[in-house]
Structure 1
Amino acid sequence: MGRIKQNQDTALADHPPQTKHDNPTFHAHPTPVQPTTGYQYPPVNPHYTDGIPVNQPTAPPIGNVQQNWSSHLFDCMDNPENALITCCFPFVTFGQIAEVTDQGTTGCGTAGMLYGLICCLFGIPCVYSCTFRAKIRSKYGLPDAPAPDWITHCFCEYCALCQEYRELKHRGLDPSIGWIGNVQRQQMARQQEMMAPPMGQRMMG
């Protein structure tokens, strides 16, 4: 027993135990290392869930995206012929706009006569014409600019009619040929597309 104790004292003298005072990196209770077994999942990103970002701004639906007018209110000289007709006979331009906007439900002559009647009796045809500007805006998602419809027609009646005329033409509808004329033109365009040979077709000899 005395020899075993002497050997233990000699070992302690050669290799004294480390303490936190002897070694600053010494940890009395080291953190146990967990064994790595199996598949290790990557760290979870709090901004993504199943590949979809959360709490991130999303783009509005395409259907709610508001478009702009194809021309400004005072671009009347973009179509000088229509500007001259509107200046001299505004009821003609309005009748054409009304027929195409209502898809033939309202005739050009009927709308033009009603426009002239309101103008002669009350002197404020804008109360009637502004309603069709609202229909055009609702149909194509256009902004209520540069002012509300009734204000635009009240102070700039002729310019508003010219702008609406140009907008319909930009959308592929020509008010000068009426609704039936536009329908026939679209039908002819479809027939030509169907009769046209497919691209890349070759003659087989």
Structure 2
Amino acid sequence: MYPPKPDYYSSPQPGAAMPPPPMAAAANQYYPSAPNAFAVTQGPQPWSTGLCDCTDNCGNCCMTCFCPCVTFGRIAEIVDQGATSCGTSGALYALLEYFTCCHWIYSCIYRSKMRTELNLAERPCNDCLVHCCCEACALCQEYRELQYRGFDMAIGWHANMERRAQGMAVPPVMQGGMMR
């Protein structure tokens, strides 16, 4: 029915065309020295920040504290590679929080998916335990990790891909010196 989603996280098959990865980390305002978001590495890698390292991005911590559905929606859109929108994921999260108080199970699924795709270690403990005991800190850590990987969280998946595609354009070659 639909064409398969491209996998931005694994190496391409020989001869297969692969869409460009997310925007370069150089444009990232919080982590200017971030590595390539999708570099293939051996074994689980550590998170770029700890669970409670909110000192460098207080705006996100406040937003997560007062409206975690926005933070979760942004994370889910990037992790789903644009398959679900920020608004849809955030609204579902808010409904689960309001009616069942089991919203942390939904966000735990996305943490596990993100960890698998980015090859991150399951630290400091099991994903479900992290979200059950410290939901806000877990969401902030995931948000920071995606920023560290070069995503501008406020613009969503599709705009990040457009930015990346524009950044890969090759400028024209200019001749050096003055010519007549």
Q: Could you say whether these structures have the same fold, taking a TM-score greater than 0.5 normalized by the shorter chain as the test?
A: yes
Residue 185 (1) aligns with residue 159 (2): no
Deviations 1:163-205 (A, max 9, x none): 00010011111221111110111112112xx01648xx63374
2:171 aligned residue (182, 195, 198): 195
- Max Rg structure: 1
Q: Which runs of 5+ in 1 are unaligned?
A: 1-61
Q: Provide the identity percentage.
A: 45
Hey, which of these two has a bigger chunk of helix by percent? 1
Query: Is 1:133 equivalent to 2:111 in the alignment?
Result: yes
The separation in 2 between residues aligned to 1:129 and 1:197, in whole angstroms, is 48
- CA deviations on 1:74-132 (whole Å, 9 max, x unpaired) are 01222111011111100000000000110110111110111011111111211100011
| Cα distance in 1, alignment partners of residues 131 and 138 from structure 2 | 6
Which whole-Å deviations, capped at 9, do the CAs of 1:46-77 have from their partners, x for residues lacking one? Answer: xxxxxxxxxxxxxxxx7433211000000122
Instruction: Name the stretch that deviates more: 77-86 or 89-98.
Output: 77-86
Report the Cα distance in structure 1 between the residues aligned to 2:162 and 2:114, rounded to whole angstroms: 22
Residue type of the alignment partner of 1:203: G
Cα distance in 2 for residues equivalent to 1:142 and 1:76: 19
Deviations 1:5-42 (A, max 9, x none): xxxxxxxxxxxxxxxxxxxxxxxxxxxxxxxxxxxxxx
Task: Report the secondary structure of 1:97's partner residue.
Answer: helix
1:28 corresponds to: none
With over 3 angstroms needed to count, the CA separation of the structure-2 counterparts of 1:169 and 1:196, relative to structure 1, is farther
1:94/1:196 CA distance change after superposition, 3 Å:
farther
What does the per-residue CA deviation read over 1:118-172, in whole Å, with 9 as the maximum and x for residues that have no partner? 1111112111000111111111110110010000000110000000001001111
Structure 1: which amino acid aligns with 2:62? L
Distance in 2, Cα, partners of 1:196 & 1:142: 39
Q: Which of 1 and 2 has higher RCO (CA within 8 Å, sep 6+)?
A: 2
> What secondary structure sits across from 1:175 in the alignment?
coil
Aligned to 2:43: 65
- Provide the C-alpha distance between the structure 1 equivalents of 2:77 and 2:122, rounded to a whole number of angstroms: 22
> Post-superposition, which runs of at least 4 consecutive aligned residues in structure 1 deviate over 3 A?
none
TM-score between the two structures when normalised by the length of structure 1: 0.64
Residues 68 and 122 from structure 1, CA distance in 2 versus in 1: closer, same or farther, beyond 3 angstroms? same
Letter in 1 for 2:124: P
Count of residues in Structure 1 that have an aligned counterpart in Structure 2: 140
| Partner Cα distance (1:85, 1:197) in 2 | 45
TM-score normalised by the chain length of structure 2: 0.73
Change (3 A) 1:116 1:189: same
CA-atom RMSD in angstroms = 1.6
